């Protein structure tokens, strides 16, 4: 019973967070649909935060290992989303403390635009993937004509964003790092989506409880309205870019393996966060 109460408290706390909003829902829901985790699949999540998505993926039988730099978020992940099939550790996105070739899939949602060296992160993703493995990423694009440079500048400063991506630019980046783009999709493609994003951000200045209620309404009603509205728009640009790519061989020049004392290895049954090789 206490475990159920803890998970309920964690879910309620998530709903009160400022970053639980229409934009985040529209970005992560399609990504998790594309993920389609298989039972026994080994998945690495770069920038896992509180582990909310990792927990949901693990419920479908996958083994999920999450990285993040924020210790407070990782503590909440351990408290609310730790299971025999999830593990969480503090690590940098440009140097994974993992043996090569361990994972079937590497995902990273709402993270890549903040990375100082996206190429190095992609090289590390390539290294820890098994042959034929894949990556799933969501990337800030802000490529709609309605989004002016002033809005992009505001977004950079407000959310510590370092780069934006388009389908052509990310295709070249992936190719240079040993990946082949399988498919892509622009998300949040209409003026209605932009208006709902603005409303979501406006709630950040409100008291937590009423703001959470408004955000919940925007997520539920806004997603339905957006789905209908986007049936009539042929826009091939958007706020966010969702991509899936697979690992090709040969890939980039391999980097050094982590030192044995700093290396983590996922055993078939052991907790990935506590299994040094």
Q: What pLDDT is attached to residue 25?
A: 73
User: pLDDT by residue (tens digit) across 75-106?
Assistant: 988 888 888 999 999 999 999 999 999 999 99
Question: If pLDDT is split at 50, 70 and 90, which confidence band does 270 have?
Answer: very low
3-state secondary structure of 43: strand
User: pLDDT by residue (tens digit) across 27-61?
Assistant: 888 899 999 999 999 999 999 998 988 988 999 99
The angle, 0 to 180 degrees and rounded to 10, between the axes of the packed helices 191-202 and 22-35 is: 120
The residues, any chain, with a CB within 8 Å of residue 69's CB and separated by 6 or more, are 90, 91, 92, 93
Q: Are strands 240-247 and 179-187 parallel, antiparallel or unpaired?
A: antiparallel
Alpha-helical regions (H) of 17-128: 22-35, 52-58, 71-81, 118-128
| pLDDT of residue 195 exceeding 90 | no
Q: What pLDDT is attached to residue 263?
A: 43
Strand partners, 264: 98, 276
The residues, any chain, with a CB within 8 Å of residue 166's CB and separated by 6 or more, are 141, 143, 237, 241
Considering the chain, what percentage of its residues have pLDDT values greater than 70?
69
Could you please state the CATH topology (level 3) that the domain comprising 2-249 is classified under: Rossmann fold (3.40.50)
Instruction: Please name which of 234, 216, 236, 218 lies closest in space to residue 226, comparing C-alpha atoms.
Output: 218
What mean pLDDT do residues 247-271 have? 56
Torsional sign, CA 113, 119, 123, 129 = positive
Q: How far is CA 24 from CA 82, 178, 270, in A?
A: 22, 29, 32
Residue-range domain boundaries for the chain: 2-249
36: left (phi over 0), alpha (psi -120 to 50) or beta: left
Q: How far is CA 204 from CA 43, 62, 72, in A?
A: 32, 34, 20
């Amino acid at each position: 019973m206490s475990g159920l109460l803890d998970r309920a408290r964690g879910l309620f706390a998530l709903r009160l967070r400022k970053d639980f909003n229409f934009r985040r829902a529209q970005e992560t829901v399609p990504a998790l649909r594309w993920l389609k985790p298989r039972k026994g699949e080994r998945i690495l999540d770069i920038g896992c935060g509180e582990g909310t998505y990792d927990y949901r993926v693990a419920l479908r039988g996958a083994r999920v290992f999450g990285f993040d730099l924020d210790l407070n978020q990782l503590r909440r992940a351990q408290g609310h989303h730790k299971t025999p099939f999830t593990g969480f550790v503090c690590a940098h996105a440009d140097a994974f403390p993992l043996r090569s070739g361990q994972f079937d899939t590497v995902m990273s949602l709402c993270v890549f635009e903040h990375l100082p060296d996206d190429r190095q992160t992609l090289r590390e993703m390539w290294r820890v993937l098994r042959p034929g493995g894949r990556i799933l990423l969501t990337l800030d694009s802000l490529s709609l004509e309605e989004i002016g440079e002033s809005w992009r500048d505001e977004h950079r400063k407000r959310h510590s964003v370092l780069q934006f991506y388009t389908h052509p630019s990310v295709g070249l980046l992936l190719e240079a790092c040993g990946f082949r783009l399988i498919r892509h999709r622009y998300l949040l493609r209409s003026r209605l989506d932009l208006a709902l994003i603005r409303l979501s951000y406006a709630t950040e200045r409100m008291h937590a409880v009423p703001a959470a209620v408004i955000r919940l309404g925007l997520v539920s009603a806004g997603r339905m309205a957006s789905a209908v509205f986007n049936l009539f728009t042929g826009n091939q640009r958007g706020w966010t870019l969702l991509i899936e790519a697979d690992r090709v061989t040969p890939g980039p020049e391999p980097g050094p393996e982590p030192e044995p004392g700093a290396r983590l290895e996922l055993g078939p049954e052991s907790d990935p966060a506590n299994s040094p090789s």
